[in-house]
Amino acid sequence: MKLEEARQNLALYALGALGESERQEVELALERYPELQEELRQLQDVAAELSLGQAVPPPPPLRTRVLAITQPKPPRRFGWGALAAAAAMLVLVWGGWQAWQWGPWIAAFGDPDTKVITLVDLERKPCGRFILRQDGQALIWIRLPPPPSGKTYQLWSVDGSTHLPMQTFEGQIFTFAAPQELQAIHITEEPDGGSQFPSVLRAVSN
C-alpha cells in the first residue's frame, strides 16, 4: 500500500470500518511510513470521543464482576498421571546418565508440598513453570526467545516491591537454591553479566 493510499484509509481504520485484510495492510503501511502514526493517533483520539460522548454509568454490581477477572486462579492440581509423564520425560530428555541428578526432582513431583507455579509473559500467556521443593531447591523451565546480542536473562526474587538480583541464565531449564524471603519471581532482560536493578521485564510468576 502506497503512502497516499494508506493516508486515505487512516480515517476508516480509526473508525473500525476496514475488513481484516485491509486493516493488516494499513498496519504494514504504518510500519513503513512512521510519519502516518501521529496522524492516526489524532484520528483515533477523535474516534474515542465518539465513545466518550455516549457515557452512561453501568449498574454498580458490574464493577465487582468485571474486576473478578484479576483474581488469581486456584493452583492447578497435577494428577499423578501427568506428574509421572513429566518425570519420565525429564529422564528421557536428559539421558539416563543424568538421571541421578534429577532423582530428587522426580521424587518431588509426587510430594504434595512441592509448589508448581506457572510463569507468564507480558501478554499473560504461559511460558514456563517454576517448581519449588519443600527443601528450598527450585527448578525453572522456561521458553523464551534467545536474548539479543549483548543481553542475557536474569532471575529476580521479588519480596513485596523489592527486587533481589539473582543469577543470569541461558537455556530453558536450570535449578537454584531459592532464598527464604522469595514470594514471587521475575525474569528480565539485562546487559551481559546481569544488573543490580531490573531493566526489561520478560516473565513473572503468576
Partner 1 sequence: MLRSFSDEALLALVARADPEALGVLYDRYASAIYGLARRMGFDPTTQEDCVQEVFVRIWNKAGSFDPKRASGRGWLLAVAHHYCVDKVRNQASRPQALSVYPDDDNHPEAFDLPGPGLDEEAALNRVRLARAMGFLKPEERQVLEALYYQGYTYPDAAQVLGMPLGTFKSRVQKALQKLREVLREA
Interface with partner 1 (CB under 8 A): 8-9, 11-12, 14-19, 30, 37, 40-59, 62-63, 65-67, 69-71, 120-124, 201, 204, 206
Question: Of 69 and 100, which has the nearer Cβ to partner 1?
Answer: 69
Under 8 Å between Cβ of 189 and 151: yes
Question: Of 16 and 81, which has the nearer Cβ to partner 1?
Answer: 16
Question: To the nearest whole angstrom, how small is the minimum distance from the Cβ of residue 59 to partner 1?
Answer: 7
Phi–psi pair at 70, nearest 5 degrees: -90, -10
Question: To the nearest whole angstrom, how small is the minimum distance from the Cβ of residue 19 to partner 1?
Answer: 5
Question: To the nearest whole angstrom, how small is the minimum distance from the Cβ of residue 154 to partner 1?
Answer: 17
Question: Of 50 and 85, which has the nearer Cβ to partner 1?
Answer: 50
Grid-cell match 519443600, residue found? 134
**141 CB neighbour count, 10 Å cutoff:** 16
Question: Of 54 and 180, which has the nearer Cβ to partner 1?
Answer: 54
Question: Of 20 and 170, which has the nearer Cβ to partner 1?
Answer: 20
Question: Of 63 and 76, which has the nearer Cβ to partner 1?
Answer: 63
Question: To the nearest whole angstrom, how small is the minimum distance from the Cβ of residue 199 to partner 1?
Answer: 14
Q: What angle do CA 120, 194, 163 make, to 5 degrees?
A: 55
